[in-house]
Amino acid sequence: MVRLDPIAIEEVTAARERLSGAVLRTPLVRLSGENLPAEIYLKLENLQPVGSFKVRGAANVLKKAAKDQLSRGITTASSGNLGLAVAWYARQIGIPCTAIVPETSADAKLIPLQEAGGKVIKVPYGEWFEIVSSDQSPESEGYFVHPVFNPDMMSGHGTMALEILEDLPDVDAVIMPYGGGGLFCGVSSAMRALKPDTKLFVSEVETAAPVAAALAAGEPKEIIKRPAPFHCVGAPRVLAPMWPLVSRFLDGSIVVTIEEVAEALRRLAGKHHIIVEGSGALPVAAAETGRAGPGKVVCVVTGGNIDLETFVKILGREIPQKE
């Protein structure tokens, strides 16, 4: 099994220099509203060129890779956002890209991926998750960009922490949605190095909360992932190589309901004119419970690539069966 160490702060600062001009330094905006349990701030990664934070890690990996590694193209495994980020950057440097995606991936993510020049290979969810769970590259042509285990991916994501601390040096807590763990471990590595008293939380939805289950069991535990309108949230289990890092950094998992996520999405759109996908609204829903504490709480709004039909239904107070 692959062994992962905390990302050195030097790697994160180097990634920031490397990404200059390739990604957006996203704003930190305070959430307005009455009776909020904390000063809640939004790190708006939905404003990135590809609509999600994934471009930070993808661009950092590909900028660091040797030219001969990329000569036969790039392959990654993604539910959509990483595939789009890799395809977007690969197109800029003139390299073909292939994304292995689960059959459940939303067209809102796959269509832009293909428009960016990416080739899509759909596989059953179980087969896709096994690729993500393995530290071995699948049989495919080209350089494989692992969506989680790659330290350069995590150091790219960690650059968010530098921006958060510049804009809000006295931040008390950061909440991030949990997918594979690369975002959480990248940002948390930098936060622990620079402001170790910051509380670090993951936000999960009730239909798939593997981190909460792992915390309760003391180790990764298989769960039943139930259907939800936010397909990009949750997984059947915490990936085993990630657990030592996750448990080292984690101050808690805040589990919220589907309706709480939908309500956060509606408020962000209606009051703040911010369009987000389910994973982007999830930390906001978690912060609004008050369980991250009463201080200055930053929510990483990870992306805005939501299917418009799903978005309209949620705005109309309908909860669709799936995104």
pLDDT tens for 37-86 read 999 999 999 999 999 999 999 999 999 998 888 988 999 999 889 999 99
pLDDT tens for 214-256 read 999 999 999 988 877 776 577 889 999 999 999 999 999 999 9
Helical H runs in the chain? Answer: 9-19, 54-64, 81-92, 107-115, 125-133, 151-167, 182-194, 210-217, 243-249, 258-272, 278-287, 308-315
Domains belonging to the chain, first-starting first, are: 9-53+151-315 (3.40.50.1100), 55-145 (3.40.50.1100)
CB atoms within 10 A of CB 209: 24
Cβ neighbors of 25 (< 8 A, separation 6 or more) are 163
> Tell me, what's the pLDDT at 232?
57
Cβ atoms of 42 and 29 within 8 Å: the answer is yes
Mean pLDDT (whole number) for 272-289: 96
pLDDT tens for 70-79 read 988 999 999 8
Tokens of 227: 């259907």
Mean pLDDT of the chain: 93
Query: CA–CA separation, 320 vs 1, rounded Å?
Result: 38
pLDDT tens for 155-201 read 999 999 999 999 999 999 999 999 999 999 999 999 999 999 999 99
- The overall longest dimension of the chain from CA atoms, in Å, is 56
Residue type for position 130: E
**CA distances (Å), 170 to each of 154, 173, 179, in order?**
23, 9, 27
**CA distances (Å), 127 to each of 101, 197, 231, in order?**
10, 40, 16
DSSP 134-175: -SSPPS-SSEEE-SSS-HHHHHHHHHHHHHHHHH-TT--EEE
Cβ atoms of 90 and 63 within 8 Å: the answer is no
Find the helix or strand (DSSP H, E) in which 77 lies. Answer: strand 74-77
Q: Is the pLDDT of residue 297 over 60?
A: yes
Percent of the chain with pLDDT over 90: 80
Residues in the chain: 323
With cut-offs at 50, 70 and 90, classify the pLDDT of residue 34.
Answer: confident
- Tell me which of 7 and 233 has the higher pLDDT: 7
> Tell me, what's the pLDDT at 263?
96
Phi-psi region of 10 (alpha: psi -120 to 50; beta: other; left: phi over 0): alpha
Cβ atoms of 70 and 95 within 8 Å: the answer is yes
Which residues face 296 on adjacent strands?
39
Instruction: Give phi and psi for 296, each to the nearest 5.
Output: -95, 115
Query: CA–CA separation, 302 vs 204, rounded Å?
Result: 13
> How much is the pTM?
0.95
CB atoms within 10 A of CB 307: 19
> Tell me, what's the pLDDT at 323?
46
